[in-house]
Amino acid sequence: MSIPLDTLGPIWLFSLSCGFLLLVLVSVTHKFWNRHRSLYPPGPAPRLLVGNAFELPVQKSWEVYAKWSQDYKSDIIHATALGQHIVILHSLDDAIELLEKRAHIYSSRPSFPMLELLDWHEFNSVILPYGPLWRRHRSIFQQVFSAGASITYQPIQTQKVHDALRYILETPHDFASHLKTLSAAIVLGIMYDYDVAPTGDHYAELAERAVLEASEAALPGSHAVNSFPILRHIPTWFPGAKFHHVAARCRKLTKELRLAPYEMVRADMAEGKVTSVLGKLLAKNDAQGGSKDEEKIMVDTAAIAYAAGSDTTAATFAWFVLAMVLHPDVQRRARSDILKLTGGGRLPAFEDRISLPYVEAIYREVLRWEPVSPLAVPHTPVEDDYYKGYLIPKGSIVLANIWAMNRNEAIYPDPEQFKPERFLDEQENLIDDRALVFGFGRRICAGRYLASSSLWLLFASFLASFDVTKAKDEAGNDIEVLAEGSGGIIRHPLPFNCTILPHSESARRLIEQTPIP
């Protein structure tokens, strides 16, 4: 089809006019941004229209942000991506001031487009925006996982830790798998009164798969819809709509994660068995009229405890084992303290925690040295806020760089070194410190008491039972191990080789004599 020559003039003029107007619009936008840029904290210069979208790191972002903090000589860094403001905090004082002292502004969450497509936003209190629904979720969490309530779960925790010791004794090369089983076993035992199988348990593997899929989907840059939320409306057949197919697969996992254990509890209740935490909550709700809204919140609370607790506990313990491989002197000292207290005739118990400050220091150092959540779950302000002369706009993504805070040399000298003694004074007493990995303010992890006690007992029991060393190659030489981790939202150490053996025959007997349920 040809275009009449007499129309070329008007078409050319129209195209030129559109181009000129676009140029003016871009120029005005650029000038507007530059005029207001000084209001925001320091950070990399944005590109026209896209901001810093192409500079935002996908892997090990906490290290990149820490480098920006050094380059721009500021503990508060600002970037943008397609109009979205991002503020990264590198100082504990700033995190406390904004996320705790100004919690009325900073307690909400930004939207997570891909997680919404996975249906995680419907039940996950971690990412719910601040409001009545979140407060109801939080109320149940605090009821179930308060410091006082968590004490009642100690028999279950002890049993599951002893189970894990036996599994490691039998197949030490599968220790990573046993850790995942243990992490799921504690929460499944508490919430659903379900005993996890030693290997290949369906519910343990379900949680692992669901959390892995969700974590990968939420990573910046993993799917275009995370940067361009409007893409969620394109049809599934449209080119580039792969995220729709990923979401459809993950929604099935999400649904099973939420409902399969619940249905198991309902079946137990029908037989008169009301022993699980969820069962007791449901029975109370049934007795009060059976509110469907309340039941959904109870089911969702149990599901997120099951999902969130499994992965983080397993990752933390894996970092602990890696640290012990790299620092045999630390495990020898800890074992000596434990054996002095127990006489070698029993395994450690919860009541020993106060009497084992060095083991407590190891626990704290593991959380500091390699936090499994290097960047805390993002907060978002519900209104414009000014801090240190900077504007933090409403709706910004505010990230606390826990990894960087844990490497503040003024607080933790030689931060790259694993040194539990940094948490002890000259008299070997514990010094005050806080575990930043559990978050800040009103959004601090509600399950922190259960997580802390489970990890401590596991660390102490492992140290009392096993000697972990570097593996040997065929020539008898040590296989070197590096402290390297994954770059995802939950940071696991990369697979490593080690040798795990009972440190003595008496230790072996103690493990073998633990009760089998």
Could you tell me the CATH number of the domain that includes residue 59? Answer: 1.10.630.10
Residue 28 lies inside a defined structural domain of this protein: no
CB 448: neighbour CB atoms within 10 A? 16
Instruction: Please report the pLDDT score of residue 15 as a whole number.
Output: 46
Residue 5 lies inside a defined structural domain of this protein: no
Instruction: Please report the pLDDT score of residue 471 as a whole number.
Output: 93
203: exposed, middle or buried (Cβ count in 10 Å: 0-12, 13-18, 19+): buried
Instruction: Please report the pLDDT score of residue 306 as a whole number.
Output: 85
Query: Residue 75: which of 443, 433, 404, 392 has the closest Cα?
Result: 404
Q: Please state, in angstroms and as integers, the Cα–Cα distance from residue 456 to each residue in 78, 313, 465, 494, following that order.
A: 37, 11, 14, 22
Ranges assigned E (strand) in 188-242? none
The one-letter amino acid code at 124 reads N
In this structure, are residues 206 and 187 in contact, taking their beta carbons and an 8 Å threshold? no
Across the chain, which has 517 residues, the per-10-residue mean pLDDT values are 44 46 48 62 91 85 95 96 92 98 96 85 87 93 93 95 95 89 90 90 86 75 73 80 83 90 96 95 94 94 84 90 97 97 96 97 97 93 97 96 96 96 94 92 93 96 96 91 84 92 95 88
Instruction: Please report the pLDDT score of residue 24 as a whole number.
Output: 47
Instruction: Specify the 3-state DSSP secondary structure of 133.
Output: helix
Residue 350 lies inside a defined structural domain of this protein: yes
Residue 14 lies inside a defined structural domain of this protein: no
- Number of domains within the chain: 1
Instruction: Please report the pLDDT score of residue 16 as a whole number.
Output: 47
Residue 73 lies inside a defined structural domain of this protein: yes
E strand or H helix that includes residue 499: strand 498-502
Residue 451 lies inside a defined structural domain of this protein: yes
In this structure, are residues 394 and 377 in contact, taking their beta carbons and an 8 Å threshold? no
Residue 23 lies inside a defined structural domain of this protein: no
The one-letter amino acid code at 418 reads F
Instruction: Please report the pLDDT score of residue 14 as a whole number.
Output: 42
Residue 419 lies inside a defined structural domain of this protein: yes
Instruction: Please report the pLDDT score of residue 221 as a whole number.
Output: 62
In this structure, are residues 221 and 64 in contact, taking their beta carbons and an 8 Å threshold? no
The one-letter amino acid code at 431 reads I
Range of the domain at 346: 41-512
E strand or H helix that includes residue 85: strand 84-89
Ranges assigned E (strand) in 290-406? 385-387, 390-392, 397-400
Whole-angstrom distance, CA of residue 215 vs CA of residue 490: 7
Instruction: Please report the pLDDT score of residue 12 as a whole number.
Output: 45
Instruction: Please report the pLDDT score of residue 56 as a whole number.
Output: 86
